[in-house]
Structure 1
Amino acid sequence: MKTLKKNGAAKAVNKSYNALSVNPAVLDCDYYRFAELDAGAVNAYANEYMSQYYWADFMFNDF
């Protein structure tokens, strides 16, 4: 958290008692855009993306 604060990125992490999570609302993430079927992000991938991991397939995620 010190490093995130130092670089102005502390809002990218939600911090509460005994828990940390990512705040996707403040991130520019190609994976999140791909999961939302953003045309630019989808077209950027010409090959498989981490196909060896079932959890990496956006079809299996509950976005």
Structure 2
Amino acid sequence: MEITAESMRFLAKAIAIVGTGIATAWGEKVIGTAAIGAMVENENLFVKGLIMTVLPETIVIFGLVVAIIM
């Protein structure tokens, strides 16, 4: 099997998307756990916890944009 420039381009796109997906999953896990702990103590923090849990999704959008630009 021959490694070509096109196959390297596809590999770079895959790394960009997979890397951002893993980073997002890790960020949501950490923030989600902290948000649930905070909501146990104070129920008024639900909206803030929900917003903070959704923020890491922008990382995946950046990875997708980079993959499309490539």
TM-score by length of 2: 0.22
- CA radius of gyration, larger in: 2
Structure having greater relative contact order (Cα 8 Å, sep ≥ 6)? 2
Whose strand fraction is larger, Structure 1's or Structure 2's?
Answer: 1
